[in-house]
Structure 1
Amino acid sequence: MAKDLERDLGLFSVIAISMGAMIGSGIFILPGIAMAEAGPAVILSFVIAAILVVPAALSIAELGTAMPEAGGDYVFIERGMGPAVGTIAGLGTWLMLMLKGALALVGGMFYLEAVMALPSIEAVAVTFALILIAVNLIGVKQTGGLQLIMVIVMLLILSVFVAGSIIRVDGANYDPFFTEGLSGVFTATATVLVSYAGVTKVAAVAEEIENPGRNLPLGLLASLVATSILYALLVFVLVGVIEGEILAGEEAPMAEAVDVLFGELFLFAIVLAALLALVSTANAGILTASRYPLALSRDNLFLDVFEYIHPRFATPIVAIVTTGAFMIFAILTLDVEQIAKSAGAFQILVYILVCGALIAFRERDLEWYDPDFYTPGYPWVQLFGIVSGVFIIGWMDLLPIAGSIGIVIFGYVWYKWYAESRVEREGVAKGLARREAGRQFVRDTEEQLEDDDRYEVLIPIRRDVTREQEDALIQLAAPIVRREGGRIRVIRFDEVPDQVPLDTAAEELTPEDAEFEERTDDLVRYLGIPVEVGEIVSHDTRHAVVNFAERTGSDLVLARQKPTSRLDTLFGRDTDWIMEHAPCDVVFVQHEQPVELEEIAIVTDRSPFNDPLKVELADAMADILDARVRFVFTVSEDAPEELEEAIEEYHAELDELCTVPVDSSILRTNNAIDDLTEELESAQLVMLSTVTHRRLPDLLIEQRSDRIAASVEGPVLLVHSKKTRRGSFLRPVLDRVLFD
């Protein structure tokens, strides 16, 4: 059984990931260093650097839509120009990302020092590096949503800074403009080019992007344009408000500008923005960089030890530790300017190779090469990228030039000595076909559903679900499917840490995977109903479940829900996110276990959408399993007779929806939860309505359905209709007043 990879990054996540990787050292560290090289004309250096990145960004966008694979630029170069050049590209990108992470950490400490005394910049930077290494080793998630929030916070702070300081720009600071001539502008361009390295970072997660044909090129270009405009505005302000002698060589230029203009209060805001940006960049550097030796190792181009995945944390620990160790080495041995220029040199080298890879793919006239986005101006755009890259490297210092030449020589020698005899790939088509074979499950099943109106139940299974729990879920869905004439789709959703590329996890078929398929097949034969089984690998299970349900036209999601506490509500429940975003009805099962149903109890609450859905599901199960259905409603002991009569009429209306006999119980009580729990003891299955939780209100006042579910010992179905609107913060209060 093949595993499919789930795409769960939308356009805004693509933009956030790309901008989040760019809004870092480029504005918080490099303006002062570049100012010393170009003078006031440093603003041109940032604009030229953005223009030089465009050919690589367009090439990445085209290649990413043709081959939306995890691995990004390394995969494109290796598949297009061969494993020898791929080895050079993989090592170069690895080094660039490590150096960029080291630069971010060192720069962040200069900002921290602006508000508090530090014993040593390097020592504190190394401490942060060790923390980030540990975070990545245990696989703590970094999501597009979190990145989006951080980017928004940074953009707000920086926008306020620009708006408040642009009116204070002193034109005299720009006279003369070309104090260092064009040579200084080009030298500074080479220095700041690393600022835009993040624009291609998103290509490393291309396989995780929804609708890559649209979102990848649009996200890349939008983030590049937005970031370049922001850089230009910020540099314009910095040069205009700080004297050139002070700005030149300043390692925390934003802090200096804010301190001069706004004072201590806004200084803390800028330091916060800088730390968010730079620590996030460093963390992303470790996360993304560690994927490259892993990818090289999997392609037999690097040491096998880098392919090792920790059995508990499911992260490539050797790759992460090595990446972190090199970052620490760079922090301790190189100054900020050397780190920036060395990272920029390796990045330019990769840009050149990406442009060359696109030319290689286009000129091979491959039948399968059919990108959704074609680079305009081919091949002149790519040739410009190659020539301009070589030109700008020539303006760098000796160390980065030597480093670029050295990585080319080392990569080629390493390939000839170590990898050439181990590589058996015949070219692009074979490498892609191997990965393509593992993605057929979802496409095949989607085609089957195009003209299929059968009722479909999706049962998402996590790795921690036991065989008994899985069997119980299928047996609960079986009578519904048998009655409606549909099918069950049992999908195992494997969530892997962000540190591991999805295709790596998808290719690993464990004994548990085989056992999952075998036992599900046995149950399918026993039930005698249509059941399809598959596995999906993702970095975010809840997104994967909703996306899969939407793509395949599921009518009902039937999922296991662990008993939760109110504290879980504060941090956000995956079940709430699924209910809010699922395109279909959702039912969560607590205390699931295979049972012989004799009575199904429905706790009614006059919900216009949930009650009919509960009745429909219960009637289907009762009809097939020869069980009875009972409606239960609670009112206070002093409730008027008119209310009880209204409830009886309501139950009679619900009864008309059923094909099986129905009993009705109206329980008068002033202790609703305890008495209702006792009333439900005779039922083998209890059905309740549920709605999405609101974090603070539901933390203070627990939802009625949660309290009932927690008190009932047997299986409970928490039912949520797709038509149900999310309640306001008054919902738990009204539940208390009306039902308790």
Structure 2
Amino acid sequence: MKELERDLGLASVLAISVGAMIGSGIFILPALALKIAGPAVIVAYLLAGLLVVPAALSKSEMATAMPEAGGTYIYIERGMGPLLGTIAGVGTWFSLSFKGALALVGGVPYLLLVFDLPLKPVALGLATVLILVNLLGAKQTGRLQVAIVAVMLAALGWFAAGSAPGVQSGNYANFFADGLGGLLAATGLVFVSYAGVTKVASVAEEVEDPGRNIPLGILGSLAFTTLLYVAVVAVMVGITDPGAVAGSLTPVAVAAEATLGQVGVVVVIVAAVLALISTANAGVLSSSRYPFAMSRDRLAPPSLSAVSDRFGTPAASITLTGAVMLVLIAFVPILEIAKLASAFQIMVFALINVAVVAFREGNADYDPEFTSPLYPWMQVFGAVTGVLLLTQMGTIALAGAGLITLGSVVWYLGYVRPRVSREGVARDAIRRRVGQNAIADVQSDALEGAHDVLVAVTKDIGPDRERSLFEIAADIASQHDGRIIGVRFEEIPDQAPLTDEVTVQSEADRSFERRTAEYAEQLGVTIDSEEIVSHDTKHAIVNVAEEHGVDAILTEHEPLRLRSRLIGDPVDWVVRHAPCDVHLVDNLGYDSPEHVVLAGDGTPYESRAVTVAETLAAANDGSLSLWYPATTGRTDRHEATIADLERELTDALSVSVRSRAVRPDGGRVSSGDTPDVVVRSGTDHRLRHALLDDRPPTPQGSATTVTVYPEVARRAPLARRLLERFVF
């Protein structure tokens, strides 16, 4: 693949960054912000500049680690994955295109002060020239940017210095008259003035010595521009009568006329036109690199990553970006759309801060030459304040950002996902943290003491299956110094009186007592047995469990039917209301199992299921196998994380452990791998309805299966379970 040439020095980097900021932020937005916050607009510019610092530091760090074309898209895609990368790439591309078009349209009113020209044709002509300049090469673009910025800064400096003596302190009266709300609203509006500070990262692949020039360019231009904004706006407010500038299409010209006369107006017109052309030029240069970078990562059609043999520029990407800009200028109310896109830009800045955390906490190959200070508090501050600023942008702006996000998601689902299977380091970092938390839960459960078990016999299941239930209960209870309560439950019709039934003990009941006594003697445990007659067995089971204070209910499991999925069944009710764990047994016999399998669904094994599986294996001097679905499409990073987590879990257990993947349909396994007992965690009923999923897949065979449902109070919150499903 053909690479871009590194021919942008520090001067060009500073010029691109400064030129991308000093445009609408000084020549258009002050008039709008003054209507919102009054003289406090000066503080709004300073506060906005400070709030950009975290994103500037974060982007400087990532740009030195990944000096590639694409900037924001590259960092978020690598850190957060293709979905958020697509949203960031598409959204930022549109945002920069909108702002470039806005700069051109916003510059024309200054020209109209001198020439009688039609607005849109002039803007379209200027856009066409800038597109052609960008097609010729980044070096020519950088040189043009340096010249434009030099003239523009000289004009602004002359305006500020020449107008400063005319400042009237009375114009700053009632400085905070609009209160904190007005200040924050103005800060949210003028925040977009600094959005260009990190644009240079999108052309990082073309920057000489990126480890030095990118941080210096980004941070130096931010500091310089913040001071310039504050100084110019302070002068503008101080030399004009209150309300004279607010709402004007040419606020700087109005201010210059008040102190410098017509000469000042001409100088300001020149500076404004150059500044806004500079912003548009930087917009074409940087925004065109987003589809270029996305194309190289297969998130966009391959034709957009083609580099011109003659000029060394991404011609197709620049042409597409230019076409979008021309359409916007010709047919769309740019000012409103630019405000909507700016809201998305704030959201992207928040994601940039999160992406740095993802890279540092993940296991990706990440070695930046520049590192952000005060990590991670700087990034947390940037992400939180970004969200707060979004709330100040208004409903329309938020809705517009939502539409851009929705369109990006549709593009991802329709084009990207069938072609791309990689994931971001953030997902793996979260996966590792979630897995380690689950292992910590296992270790915590292993430290608990006595474990009393209620064996609930709800129907005539025959002596062999009944004995199997008590053998399982004995292995669980004896390993934890617990006891067994065996209860035979009989349900009678509602119209039948309970008193007569309770006083007459049948031969079957006496047989149950004799059998439990035999089990106790043979298994070497104490079993307290009784018989309960009730009108509602499920309530009776829960009541007995509460009365005896047991730690688990053990009973046979009936397969769920369609009715059970839709409206629930008695087993579901017991699981949801039991004051303890519930172990449901698919009973095919139990005889000193030597091979116990812990079957998972690909998410971390639930701690109570792990404890039960380990207990059964330890009680019979057997081994424990960890089985999970064999799925396709996992990345190498995903597989490595699962392997690491399994090793950590193995180290935490007291029995011999091995693991293997099985087919998700529960296919048959070789005879040597056939388990004696399978233990699995019961599916959260909330997830069952949300995801239409009943239970973890397990291999077919003749093994008894124990499904473990933890007590409701012990279960992971729904948000955690959904997070586990997402990251695993």
Q: TM-score scaled to structure 1, two decimals?
A: 0.55
| 2: CA distance, partners of 1:333 / 1:146 | 28
2:284 alignment partner, SS class: helix
| 2: CA distance, partners of 1:278 / 1:126 | 14
- 2:207 is equivalent to residue 209 of structure 1: yes
Match of 1:276 among 269, 274, 277: 274
- In structure 1, what residue type is equivalent to 2:84? V
Match of 2:368 among 371, 380, 384: 371
Match of 2:161 among 157, 160, 163: 163
| 2: CA distance, partners of 1:138 / 1:376 | 38
- 2:64 is equivalent to residue 50 of structure 1: no
- In structure 2, what residue type is equivalent to 1:44? V
Give CA-to-partner distance per residue, 1:575-615, whole Å, 9 cap, x none: xxxxxxxxxxxxxxxxxxxxxxxxxxxxxxxxxxxxxxxxx
1:245 alignment partner, SS class: coil
- 2:264 is equivalent to residue 255 of structure 1: no
2:7 alignment partner, SS class: coil
Where in structure 1 are there 5+ consecutive unaligned residues? 430-740
- 2:107 is equivalent to residue 112 of structure 1: no
| 2: CA distance, partners of 1:389 / 1:321 | 32
Residue 304 of structure 1, CA deviation: 4.0
| 1: CA distance, partners of 2:208 / 2:139 | 19
Residue 181 of structure 1, CA deviation: 2.1
| 1: CA distance, partners of 2:90 / 2:4 | 26
2:381 alignment partner, SS class: helix
Distance 1:299 1:3, change over 3 A: closer
Distance 1:370 1:294, change over 3 A: closer
Residue 156 of structure 1, CA deviation: 1.6
1:15 aligns with 14
- In structure 2, what residue type is equivalent to 1:236? A
Q: How does 1:661-672 map to 2 (within 5 A)?
A: none
| 2: CA distance, partners of 1:260 / 1:287 | 36
Q: Is the 8 A contact 2:65 2:369 kept in 1?
A: yes
Aligned residues: 426
2:568 aligns with none
Residue 104 of structure 1, CA deviation: 0.7
- In structure 2, what residue type is equivalent to 1:96? S
Give CA-to-partner distance per residue, 1:397-442, whole Å, 9 cap, x none: 222211111222222232122211101446669xxxxxxxxxxxxx
Distance 1:15 1:132, change over 3 A: closer
1:191 aligns with 189
1:67 aligns with 66
Q: Is the 8 A contact 1:241 1:257 kept in 2?
A: yes
2:295 alignment partner, SS class: helix
- In structure 2, what residue type is equivalent to 1:397? G
2:563 aligns with none
- In structure 1, what residue type is equivalent to 2:378? V
Q: Is the 8 A contact 1:102 1:339 kept in 2?
A: no
| 1: CA distance, partners of 2:145 / 2:133 | 16
1:31 aligns with 30
| 2: CA distance, partners of 1:276 / 1:244 | 28
Give CA-to-partner distance per residue, 1:542-581, whole Å, 9 cap, x none: xxxxxxxxxxxxxxxxxxxxxxxxxxxxxxxxxxxxxxxx
| 1: CA distance, partners of 2:175 / 2:272 | 28
Q: How does 1:120-139 map to 2 (within 5 A)?
A: 120-137=118-135, 139=137
Give CA-to-partner distance per residue, 1:209-259, whole Å, 9 cap, x none: 333222222221111011000000000011111223221111211111112
2:86 aligns with 87
1:387 aligns with 384
Distance 1:154 1:373, change over 3 A: same
| 2: CA distance, partners of 1:58 / 1:146 | 27
1:147 aligns with 145
Q: Is the 8 A contact 2:41 2:186 kept in 1?
A: yes
Residue 80 of structure 1, CA deviation: 0.9
Identity, % of aligned positions: 54
Q: Is the 8 A contact 1:15 1:223 kept in 2?
A: yes
Residue 122 of structure 1, CA deviation: 2.7
Give CA-to-partner distance per residue, 1:423-474, whole Å, 9 cap, x none: 1446669xxxxxxxxxxxxxxxxxxxxxxxxxxxxxxxxxxxxxxxxxxxxx
Q: Is the 8 A contact 2:82 2:423 kept in 1?
A: no
Residue 5 of structure 1, CA deviation: 6.1
Distance 1:149 1:19, change over 3 A: same
CA RMSD of aligned residues (A): 2.4
Residue 370 of structure 1, CA deviation: 1.8
Q: Is the 8 A contact 2:133 2:141 kept in 1?
A: no
| 1: CA distance, partners of 2:326 / 2:9 | 34
Q: How does 1:333-732 map to 2 (within 5 A)?
A: 333-335=331-333, 337-366=335-364, 368-425=365-422
Q: Is the 8 A contact 1:87 1:301 kept in 2?
A: yes
Residue 143 of structure 1, CA deviation: 4.1
Distance 1:332 1:186, change over 3 A: farther
Residue 157 of structure 1, CA deviation: 1.4
| 2: CA distance, partners of 1:140 / 1:82 | 29
| 2: CA distance, partners of 1:143 / 1:318 | 17
Q: Is the 8 A contact 1:138 1:315 kept in 2?
A: yes
1:246 alignment partner, SS class: coil
Give CA-to-partner distance per residue, 1:170-226, whole Å, 9 cap, x none: 111111112322222222212111111121011112233333222222221111011
| 2: CA distance, partners of 1:168 / 1:340 | 34
Q: Is the 8 A contact 1:33 1:251 kept in 2?
A: no
| 2: CA distance, partners of 1:15 / 1:312 | 27
- In structure 1, what residue type is equivalent to 2:53? V
2:140 alignment partner, SS class: coil
| 1: CA distance, partners of 2:125 / 2:16 | 25
| 2: CA distance, partners of 1:323 / 1:211 | 28
Q: Is the 8 A contact 2:69 2:290 kept in 1?
A: no
- 2:263 is equivalent to residue 237 of structure 1: no
| 2: CA distance, partners of 1:97 / 1:331 | 13
Where in structure 2 are there 5+ consecutive unaligned residues? 427-728
Residue 149 of structure 1, CA deviation: 3.0
2:370 alignment partner, SS class: coil
Give CA-to-partner distance per residue, 1:608-652, whole Å, 9 cap, x none: xxxxxxxxxxxxxxxxxxxxxxxxxxxxxxxxxxxxxxxxxxxxx
Q: Is the 8 A contact 1:107 1:336 kept in 2?
A: no
Distance 1:135 1:249, change over 3 A: same
Higher mean alpha-carbon deviation, 344-353 vs 146-155, is at: 146-155
| 1: CA distance, partners of 2:7 / 2:328 | 34
Q: Is the 8 A contact 1:95 1:346 kept in 2?
A: no
Distance 1:142 1:403, change over 3 A: farther
Higher Cα Rg: structure 1 or 2? 2
Residue 31 of structure 1, CA deviation: 0.6
| 2: CA distance, partners of 1:69 / 1:294 | 11
2:176 alignment partner, SS class: coil
1:263 alignment partner, SS class: helix
Give CA-to-partner distance per residue, 1:14-71, whole Å, 9 cap, x none: 2222111111111111111111111111111111111111111000111111122222
- In structure 1, what residue type is equivalent to 2:374? G
2:405 alignment partner, SS class: helix
| 1: CA distance, partners of 2:103 / 2:266 | 18
| 1: CA distance, partners of 2:177 / 2:290 | 41
| 2: CA distance, partners of 1:294 / 1:351 | 21
Q: TM-score scaled to structure 2, two decimals?
A: 0.56
2:243 alignment partner, SS class: helix
| 1: CA distance, partners of 2:163 / 2:273 | 21
